[in-house]
Amino acid sequence: MSLDGATTPGAGDGRPDPAGGSQSGHANGSINGAGQQNGVVAPPPTYLTHRLRLNPNSDHRPDNYEDLELDFSPMVFSSLERYLPPNLLLQPREVKVNYMREILVRYYPESERVRIQKHREYRQKIISNYQRLHRELYTMHAANFFIPSFLKAINENTEQGFRNIMSEPSPGVFTFEMLQPRFCEMLLAEVENFEKWVHETKFRIMRPNTMNKYGAVLDDFGMETMLDKLMEDFIRPISKSEYVDDK
C-alpha cells in the first residue's frame, strides 16, 4: 500500500505481480535486522502469548529498572524478570517492562495501586525537602560499608566461604560480622538528623509500625535503592546458600 492509500498491484491482493511471478498469499519467512517479517513488525509479547515460568531462573541476572518512572517498585520488575520465558530474557529492557507491567496492572487490585501511588508521592515529598547529612550512605559502596572478611565470603560465593565467617548458636540461626563501624555511626547519625528535621518542620511521617511513636523507615527518606541492592547482592547469596529448600 502506498502512502496515499492506493493498493499496489500484487501486494497481498492475490493478483499477479507486474514484475513477474504470482502472489502466493503467505509470508516467505525472511526476517530483516529490525525484526520485521516481510515488512510487518511482529506484535509485542503479552501474557496471553508468552506465559511466565513456574520457577525462577536463578542463574539469570535481571536488568536494573531504577532509572525508570514505573508504577511499581523497580525491584518488583527485577524479581519478576527471573520468571520470564526464555525467549523474552534477551529482549530489550523496554519490551520486558511493558510485558511485566501488563501482568502487574492486570492482577494488582486497584486499591493497592492507589495506595502505592500515594505512598510514592509521600516519599517524594520527603526526599525533595529533607537535606541529607551523609550522602555517601544513599549509594552502595561495598568497600566502605562491609568488613573485608564479609566481602571475601561474598566474592567467593561458596557455602564453605560463608561458613568460615559464621557461627551457629542455635540450629538454623547464624551470626556473622558484616558492617564497618564507621558505616554504623553514619547511619545512626543520619537517622538522628532525619528525626531532627521531622521535629523542626512538624512533618508527619509514617513510623515502622503503629505500636509506637518512634523509629524511621529508611526507604521513606531515600535509602530504598541502596537497601534493595544490599538485600539482592549481599544478603540473598547467603540466604540462598544456607536456606535451600530441599523439598
Q: Are 234 and 142 in contact (CB under 8 A)?
A: yes
- Residue 247 pLDDT exceeds 50: no
- Judged against a pLDDT cut of 70, whether residue 229 lies above it is answered with yes
- Answer yes or no: are the C-beta atoms of 35 and 41 closer than 8 Å: yes
Q: Which residue has the higher pLDDT, 14 or 142?
A: 142
Question: Where is pLDDT greater, at 148 or 215?
Answer: 148
Instruction: Give CA–CA dist 212/201, Å, rounded.
Output: 20
Is the confidence at residue 139, as pLDDT, over 70? yes
Strand partners, 146: 179
- 192-228 per-position pLDDT tens digit: 999 999 999 999 898 888 777 788 999 999 998 899 8
Across the range 55-83, mean pLDDT stands at 87
CB 232 within 8 Å of CB 75:
yes
3-state SS record for 58-86: CCCCCCCCCCCCCCCCHHHHHHHHCCCCH
Question: What percent of the chain clears pLDDT 90, i.e. is strictly above it?
Answer: 47
Q: Determine the pLDDT at residue 48.
A: 65
**Predicted model pTM:** 0.62
Please report, for the chain, the start and end positions of each structural domain, with discontinuous segments joined by +: 42-107, 131-232
Q: Is the pLDDT of residue 97 over 80?
A: yes
pLDDT tens-digit map of 158-199:
999 999 999 999 988 889 999 999 999 999 999 999 999 999
Query: Cα separation of 186 and 137, whole Å?
Result: 8
User: In whole angstroms, what is the distance from residue 206 CA to residue 151 CA?
Assistant: 34
